[in-house]
Amino acid sequence: MAREDEMEIDGYQGNETTLPHEFNLNYLKLYYGKLFPHSDLFKWMSYGNDGKHPGCDPSYLSRREFSYTLDNDIYVRFQSFHNAAELENSIKDKCPFKIDIGPVYSVDPSKRHAYAQSGDNVFTPVERELIFDIDISDYDDVRYCCSGADVCLNCWPLMTIAIKVIDTALRDDFGFKHILWVFSGRRGVHCWVCDGKARKLTNEQRSSIADYFRVYKGNENSYKKVSLTGHVLHPFLAGAYSEVLKEFFETKLLTSQNLLSSEERFEKILEMIPDQSATAELRGKWQENRRSSSAKDDINVVRWEQLKQLLQSGKYKAQRLHRCVEEIVFSFTYPRLDMEVSKHMNHLLKAPFCVHPKTGRVCVPINPNHCEEFDPTIVPTLSQLLEELNREGFTADVDGEWNKTSLGSAIRLFRSLFLQPLLEACKKDIETSYNAKLKQSKDLHSW
């Protein structure tokens, strides 16, 4: 039986370490030794508590769980580190195929057994980023170009839409500022919300935020996967529909996936219409291939316009028919979150700048302001980076040698867009909290 510190981590797939030819320990050792941004990971995970300010919590980093997936499917959980050197040396020594980050616990997770033997139930997660995990494979029922973990430029925009919708709501509706989006290295994206108030959310509060985004409620056997309740859309959903989803569906997804080009495909959409008379009329038109426009017009666009015109004409009075067009668009385009990952504080999530064992691609950050420009097919691979480094020649650059490679732009983006603003805010929070405690102490003593 595996020891507790070698348990399978959350979300791990059993064949995760079936490696591409370019992925081996020697390559990883060079990557961790020359390119991996150890200091950036340490600064991020410390949240300003690595300084000399009296308000810093020196135990903060040592209470954070790190988990490794090693060669031969060995999982090592509840690793902890006291300083940057310990973290870096451990990564270089263990050379993990994957690094996952867990919560900050009430005590050092590597010493949890000692606290358990004492009889005190004190080993519990107390802080964790609000995280979101979105996989392209969850959209397999609405994409025809790829399936499973495969992805191409025709279906990847579904991830772009997810970033746009979720990022906007997190900032505008919840007031979060320090949000990191990361390419998973293979089939999806991860989101880390790192504001102090986000890290301190309870499981109940996390569940409430996750449920705020819940629209996709069907399963693989459901014809109708989205139900939009109420006389009018919630302002968040209305904004997502008008500003992102509708245009993407009509200008890209319809044609790139040929959603109405065949009977098999248009039947899937007709099943979402709650009026048999309306579906029969549309089916009759499409089966006879009657087209009111010239042959040069795309059949998907023509049939979609026919569907909209009929459903919005008022000819059929079935209940909820007026929302059917919106529900179809939401069914095909709205973000599909792994809800459980977001709801619970103790979930693990892959660290940025890991190398995905299946693809060899690095988990690089994505700029949400320009996410439509992100191309997952050209993200640097491990072998590509080492070839670039080899061409430039190895040196003893104290800041690492990533700047000589195509990884440089990703690390610079991570620092400028996310890490530097985050650390500035953390230092202000530490100073404010410290001063408040001083004032409180003085007020107490004044009595």
- Amino acid in position 316: Y
At position 426, the amino acid (one-letter code) is C
**Which residues lie closer than 8 Å to 89 by C-beta, 6 or more apart?**
none
Which residues participate in catalysis according to the annotation?
65, 133, 135
| Range list of H helices, 193-272 | 196-199, 203-212, 235-240, 246-248, 254-256, 263-270
Q: Find the helix or strand (DSSP H, E) in which 349 lies.
A: strand 349-350
What does the alpha-carbon distance between residue 334 and residue 331 come to, in Å, rounded to a whole number?
6
> Residue 215: how many CB atoms within 10 A of its CB?
21
Report the alpha-carbon distance of residue 169 to residue 78 in Å, rounded. Answer: 33
3 state SS of 435: helix
Cα-Cα-Cα-Cα torsion 114, 116, 121, 123, nearest 10 degrees, comes to 60
CA distance linking residue 156 with residue 146, whole number of Å? 10
Number of Cβ within a 10 Å radius of residue 347: 22
Distances (CA, A) of 394 to 387, 390, 404: 11, 7, 10
Q: Which two tokens stand for residue 243?
A: 């500003």
Backbone angles phi, psi at 50, to 5 degrees: -100, 5
End-to-end CA gap in the chain: 60
Picking from 223, 225, 248, 253, the residue whose alpha carbon sits closest to that of residue 327 is 225
Nearest to 273 by CA among 223, 345, 202, 231: 223
Listing DSSP states for 70-90 in one string gives: EGGGEEEEEE--SSHHHHHHH
Q: What is the DSSP letter of 156?
A: T
Query: How far from 409 is each of 108, 291, 402, CA to CA, in Å?
Result: 35, 49, 9
Strands 98-105 and 125-127: antiparallel
Q: What angle do CA 101, 105, 109 make, to 5 degrees?
A: 75
Give the helix ranges, DSSP H, for 20-129: 25-34, 38-46, 84-94, 112-117
